[in-house]
Structure 1
């Protein structure tokens, strides 16, 4: 039975590796690129991030924003990112067709330059890593499946390493045995850190990520506090009496939805009675909230200014320690701090992933985090390389040389292991059903062929 288990793990390990290796190489290389996106962007976008405008007149931040809106017609400001010196202030501007632009303002709030967000280094690496730069539900599921099966590869490799002869000394080892030894040894060393890296990346995934996020929302005691899910509202009494009953523009038919959304956003940044951004920043300082932080405008007449510090913003210069993460809500008319929610208010699930995501991205504890992640990723690529070499040496011409199909019954241990993995990773569990069905069909076909030969 034990030999049967070993051979079955070997067979599934082989086929899983065969099908997902191209994806794993792509995800690993793009992951390495994303590890160093801040270092790359600080150099590639030096002018936008740290440069100065030729215009030296000192403006207020509100004047700078108005100038940006005049310069980039049909764009509105949806978010303002205020970073620590020497970084410039970054505006996220949204076009009426839904596209975005990053605009940078220097210390005088004069325009320095702009970027197309879609093609910044960080966003390209993120798009490749999460959806192969193609996007769509099917591709997102495919990426998640590759991550799940990678965990199976690592764990099944551990089983075969200690049950087989990979690490046993051979008097005169062949080239295949040498490759297999390195494949098994390095795979064993990186299994735990690699599984941690994969699991801390799953909150972004299409299937399991949605499940984790919905669980965190439905159970605030272990996940995301209600205050963070449902922001408070501004005090309507703070709106000037003369304009209090003015109606916001409403969406018309679908063909004009984008235009109306733009009109709505313009109204949000220019509404009579709203405090200026400079006034808001003064209130933020009084609340002892230091840079870096981002400001999101209210989305309607009852909305609030959302001022937040995040540990996984994906913006160079904006990330903070998970323990400094905070979301605050300010009245859009009075500037009063209404409420705030920080890391200490999260449930265990919220804290776990607030801590885990920057660990995955490589900036939880500075350069040491980056270096460890880089070493693990490079070793993982070597494991793939030695695995491929081992197979190619064993491979016969015009044949996959796959491990043989087995007719023996599945052991309780094997079934328990696969069920546990399927429960931990639901999409993996669903794919596992398909794999079992394929194995049953192949087994039945082989039995039929053997029966016909016997006749």
Structure 2
């Protein structure tokens, strides 16, 4: 039968009321955009330097082959004290560390703190004692990469920014997965549509890469937080006070410094970074006079200035007797209350161990390892070891490398996608409409993340205030 009524015309898109889902989608998209705008350059830097750090050992083995490898492995090695004496002839200063060869064919290294400041590594043939060369710590590839990765090369304040970026990376992952969610779609979910010259192809590449790598990127962001200047320090203190990080009783009743281990120039496990530094007790002095008040920042001294010191050779014998293998890096005493400290960082975090010896008696002042950590401490150290690609060998490094590459791909694809969509002269941010309201779920997620990571929460509040206070004229300039 013929219809007399004319079919109704579709409502123009601009007049259609926004559904709650589309309003939430636009709001999440807007936050995803601004988070990326703030984070992308730094995420790319973190990814590139992180990838280099994953393979620092094989890279440095090639770069510093002339310093690390020796040809003649026949004959007995000189003792540590003789090697240190040869190193001091080549570079006067204060010897602060000794790294013996772990296996035949490797050199020994003596760290010398030079009068002008800084530390220089002197490499020696352990058999002949010949100096192979030297390398300032500040120029070592791993130290340069570490400084760039944490932005500590700029200054400590910049590390706070890294913490904020890591927090926003978590926001990027959560919001990105929400934007990718199929919602009944098939195209662009698991495949790339269009041609590489089209924005759609870059959009699909961005979404697919981000979704596949989401878990690894989220893991890197969360496990990187312990190194941050604010969250890491406070988290370590709180877990130790609760007894789920590093129990206080481990260091016994002897004297200890108010200076944490991380501040005295040695590499220590994250869980021990804020622990007090054990101190040696000079002969004929009452230990109770120094407990809690001594400082490790005493004037530099050398072994021969303290005749009653057990000496580095004896200290190495004690460490070996405690089960620490040859080649374990040893920090040498600095000042009359300094200690010998062996720092073992094997690939398996369960074998991690730090031992301090009294420089006069050889008594073990502390012997702390993974076995002593509380549940929070163990979880953090596992995360740190996986983050740095150590725990599961080459498979671990490949997975973390894939995550780093994915972050670079996401950064490049985001910039290309934005450039192709951006009208001339505009920022092209996703628009905010008056009818849009944030869903309770999204507010709750943001509140939880802000409570866990306070610097992220503060930056989110700041972004909200700026977004709300932005004049209409500027909002029109920046809008889609």
TM-score (norm 2): 0.79
Task: Classify the secondary structure of the residue corresponding to 1:329.
Answer: strand
Which sections of structure 1, spanning at least 5 residues, go unmatched? Answer: 246-259, 311-318, 451-455
The equivalent position to 1:197 in structure 2, one of 189, 208, 220, is 220
Residue 419 of structure 2 is aligned to residue 399 of structure 1: no
Superposed counterparts of 1:146-161, under 5 Å: 146-161=165-180
Matching residue of 1:417: 445
Inter-CA distance 418–287: structure 2 relative to 1 (3 Å threshold): same
- Work out the CA distance in 2 between the residues paired with 1:192 and 1:448: 37
Q: Which residue of 1 aligns with 2:99?
A: 81
Q: Which residue in 1 is equivalent to 2:415?
A: 388
Partner of 1:437: 465
5 Å-filtered alignment, 1:92-241, equals 92-108=111-127, 109-131=129-151, 133-137=153-157, 139-162=158-181, 167-168=186-187, 175-223=198-246, 225=248, 226-227=250-251, 229-230=275-276, 232-234=278-280, 236=282, 239=283
Query: Structure 1 pair 167/145, CA: closer, same or farther in 2 (3 Å)?
Result: farther
Residue of 360, 368, 379 corresponding to 1:352: 379
Per-residue CA shift, 1:395-453, capped at 9, x if unaligned? 212222221123333321121011111122211111011111012113xx439999xxx
Counterpart in 2 of 1:427? 455
Confirm or deny: 8 A CA contact 1:287 1:337 kept in the other structure: no
1:71-109 Cα shifts (integer Å, max 9, x gaps): 212x10112223411332222211234311111122224
User: How many angstroms does 1:169 deviate by?
Assistant: 6.3
SS in 2 for 1:266: coil
**Which structure is higher in helix share?**
1
Q: Deviations over 1:252-283 (max 9, x none)?
A: xxxxxxxx978x32245631111121122222
Deviates more, 1:123-132 or 1:153-162: 123-132
Residue 327 of structure 1, CA deviation: 1.5
CA RMSD between the two structures: 3.1
Q: Secondary structure at the match of 1:293?
A: coil
Residue 41 of structure 1 deviates from its aligned partner by 0.5
2:82 & 2:320 partners in 1: Cα distance? 20
Please say if residues 6 and 163 of structure 1, whose CA atoms lie closer than 8 Å, have aligned partners that are also in contact: no
Aligned with 2:48: secondary structure?
Answer: helix
Shift of 1:33: 1.4
> What is the distance in 2 between the residues matched to 1:49 and 1:150?
38
1:266 counterpart (289, 301, 318): 301
In structure 1, C-alpha distance between the alignment counterparts of 2:64 and 2:369, rounded to whole Å: 32
Q: Secondary structure at the match of 2:301?
A: helix
Contact 1:215 1:223 in 2 (8 A): no
Alpha-carbon distance in 1 for matches of 2:68, 2:448: 47
Cα gap change, 1:273/1:372 in structure 2, threshold over 3 Å: closer, same or farther? Answer: same
Pair 1:286-2:321 in alignment: yes
1:453 aligns with: none
Once the two structures are TM-superposed, the CA of residue 58 in structure 1 deviates from its matched residue by 6.1
* Aligned length, in residue pairs: 417
Q: Is the 8 A contact 1:8 1:406 kept in 2?
A: no
C-alpha distance in structure 2 between counterparts of 1:351 and 1:114, whole Å: 37
Shift of 1:188: 0.9
> Aligned partners of 2:246, 2:357: CA distance in 1, in Å?
23
Q: CA deviation at 1:224?
A: 5.4
Between the aligned partners of 2:210 and 2:356, the Cα distance in structure 1 is 47
CA distance in 2, matches of 1:164, 1:93: 62
Separation (CA, whole Å) in 1 of partners of 2:235 and 2:300: 31
Shift in Å at residue 57 of structure 1? Answer: 9.9
Write out aligned runs for 1:2-21 (5 A). 2-21=21-40
- Residue in 1 aligned with 2:16? none
CA contact (8 A) 1:328 1:341 kept: yes
1:330 — aligned with what?
357
The unaligned stretches of length 5 or more in structure 2 are 1-19, 252-271, 287-295
Deviations 1:101-153 (A, max 9, x none): 1111222244221101111111111111110742340x222222222212211
CA distance in 2, matches of 1:449, 1:377: 34
Post-superposition CA distance 1:229-267 (Å, at most 9, x none): 34555465xx4x7xx79xxxxxxxxxxxxxx978x3224
Partner of 2:399: 372
CA offset digits 1:146-188 (Å, max 9, x no partner): 2221221111010111166875469986833332222212211
The counterpart of 1:32, out of the listed 34, 37, 51, is: 51
Counterpart position of 2:472: 446
8 Å Cα contact 1:269/1:297 also seen in 2 = no
Q: Within 2, Cα distance between the matches of 1:355 and 1:172? A: 40
Q: What do the CA deviations read for 1:313-349 (whole angstroms, capped 9, x no partner)?
A: xxxxxx4421111122323223244541221111122
Work out the CA distance in 1 between the residues paired with 2:37 and 2:474: 27
